[in-house]
Structure 1
Amino acid sequence: MSDTPRIRPGRQNRERPRKPEAAGPGAPARLGVLLRTPARAAEPLLAQAPKPWQRMLPFTIVGVFVVTLLPVTITVLTINYGLGGGWSGALGVAQTVPLLLAVTRPVRAWAVVLLADTVGALLLIQADKVATYPWPWPPMTIVGYLLLMVCLGLRESVRTMVGVWLATGVVGVALEFLRPAGTSTTSALLFVLAGVVLALTGALRGYGDAQRRIAEQESISEAERARRTLLEERARIARELHDVVAHHMSVITVQADSAPYRLPGMAEPVREEFAAIAASARESLGEMRRLLTVLRGDGTERAEGEKAPQPGIDRLQQLVEATVRAGQPVELSLAADAAGAARTAPPAVDLSAYRIVQEALANVVRHAPGAETRVSVTVDADEVLVLVVNGPARGAVVALESSGTGHGLVGMRERVRLTGGTLDTGPLPDGGFRVAARLPLNDPTRETT
Structure 2
Amino acid sequence: MVRAAVVTDLTARDSDGLHTLTTAEGETLRARSVLVTTGLVDELPDVPGLAERWGRDAVGCPYCHGAEVAGRALGVVASGPWGLHHATLIRQWSEDVTFFSHLAGEVDAETLDGFVARGVRVVTDPVERLEVTDDAVTGVVAGGVTYSVEFLFTGATFRAQDELLRRLGVEMDDGPMGPVAAVTTGRTSVPGVYAAGNVTNVGASVPIVTGEAVAAAAMLNADLVQVDVAAARAARRARTRHERWEEIYGPGQEPRWSGRPNVSLAAVAADWEPGTVLDLGCGEGGDALWFAERGWRVTAVDVSTTALARARVAAERRGLAPDAVTFVEADLVTWRAPERYDLVSAQFLQDTEDFGRDDVLRRAAGAVARGGRLVVVAHGSVPDWGHAHDDLPTPASELAAAGLPDHGWLVEESGTRPRIVTGPDGQEAEILDTVLVARRLG
Q: Please state which band the TM-score falls in when normalised by the shorter chain.
A: 0.3 to 0.5
More strand per residue: 2
Higher Cα Rg, which structure: 1
> If the length of structure 1 is used for normalisation, what is the TM-score?
0.33
> If the length of structure 2 is used for normalisation, what is the TM-score?
0.34
More helix per residue: 1
